[in-house]
């Protein structure tokens, strides 16, 4: 799949209430979402023919749009149904699901209150966000130059397209140096997240993770916190300063694309792929399997 451009894939895309041939799912070059980043999206995964925590993701899509000042013209239930229908039409059991909503082309300028709100869903096969061999050994992260902004300067509680510009820049810079990803600090110099995933650390059997006050409190993040608590593992959400990484024993990332991915290195800091990281990696894989698949085992 990596060798085929995304606009050349086969199948269908759900777009504004209709199933459209993949190649025909197009927008005009003067779409507001392209010029001014007035777009919100979700990343979801299907396992065994079912989309994990679909409604939570769709509710967050609606909330992201509300924060950006527009209303998606399809209800949560309608988008959920469209996602399920498209997954079946694509014929996939395990796949990545990308709903997106954006302002259209009626007005071109910073102000665009009259623009039509568009919504589309694409589904494709995306087995692993990181190289599978790297993932088992623990991926290596660089320290990003760009920082997560003060929430008074950006709508940080929205999964908005514009917020990912510095993520792309940071991930490209890291990959150019041979790293898999980058760890971002926030505007205060505190540990925030990776470019597309939340971060956890382990010390003396306790999980430590940054308080999500200027970045997304990820759905996978919350799932893993729940799994850890079921195991009796203490979870502490708090301010984490970068120099504290010297004292942490394990580290891992969480996200829909990343799932649970151990980290072996962040800049000058080293971590082991330890029991807690491996356990939560396995627990998450078990949690995402649909009930019918578990019952069949």
Taking the C-alpha atoms of residue 96 and residue 124, their distance in angstroms, rounded to an integer, is 5
Give the β-pairing of 181-185 and 191-194. antiparallel
Reduced to 3 states (helix: H, G, I; strand: E, B; else coil), residue 230 is: helix
**Residues identified as active-site:** 159
Give bridge partners of residue 119 from the DSSP assignment: 101
Q: Which residues of 84-111 are buried (b: 16+ CB within 10 A; e: fewer)?
A: bebbeebebeebbbbbbbbbbbeeeeee
Query: What ranges make up the beta strands (E) of the chain?
Result: 12-15, 18-21, 39-41, 44-47, 50-51, 95-103, 117-124, 139-143, 181-185, 191-194, 198-203, 206-210, 235-238, 250-255, 259-266, 269-270
DSSP 256: T
* 3-class SS shares of the chain: helix, strand, coil, % to 5: 35, 30, 40
Distance between CA atoms of 246 and 235, rounded to whole angstroms? Answer: 19
**CA geometry: angle 242, 247, 248, nearest 5 deg:** 85
List Cα–Cα distances, 207 to 94, 199, 221, 245, 248, in angstroms.
30, 10, 12, 13, 10
The SS3 call for residue 190 is coil
């Amino acid at each position: 799949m990596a060798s085929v451009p995304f606009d050349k894939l086969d199948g269908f895309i759900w777009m504004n209430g209709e199933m459209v041939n993949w190649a025909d799912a197009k927008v005009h070059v003067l779409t507001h979402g392209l010029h001014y980043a007035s777009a919100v999206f979700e990343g979801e995964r299907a396992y065994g023919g079912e989309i994990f925590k679909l409604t939570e993701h769709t509710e967050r899509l609606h909330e992201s749009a509300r924060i950006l000042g527009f209303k998606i013209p399809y209800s949560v239930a309608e988008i959920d149904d469209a996602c399920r229908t498209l997954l079946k039409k694509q014929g996939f059991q395990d796949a990545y699901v990308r709903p997106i909503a954006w302002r259209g082309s009626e007005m071109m300028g910073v102000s665009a209150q009259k623009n039509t709100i568009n919504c589309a869903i694409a589904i494709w096969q995306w087995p692993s966000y990181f190289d599978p061999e790297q993932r088992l050994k623990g991926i290596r992260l660089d320290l990003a130059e760009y920082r997560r902004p003060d929430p008074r300067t950006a709508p940080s509680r929205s999964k908005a397209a514009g917020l990912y510009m510095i993520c792309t820049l940071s991930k490209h810079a890291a990959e150019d140096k041979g790293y898999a990803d980058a760890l971002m600090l926030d505007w205060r110099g505190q540990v925030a997240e990776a470019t597309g995933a939340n971060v956890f650390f382990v010390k003396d059997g306790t999980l430590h993770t940054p308080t999500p006050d200027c970045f997304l409190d990820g759905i996978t993040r919350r799932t893993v916190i729940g799994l850890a608590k079921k195991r009796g593992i203490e979870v502490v959400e708090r301010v984490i300063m970068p120099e504290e990484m010297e004292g942490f024993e394990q580290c891992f990332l969480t996200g829909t694309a990343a799932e649970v991915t151990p980290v072996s290195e962040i800049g000058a800091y080293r971590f082991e792929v330890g029991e807690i990281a491996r356990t939560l990696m396995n627990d998450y894989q078990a949690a995402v399997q649909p009930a019918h698949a578990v019952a069949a085992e």
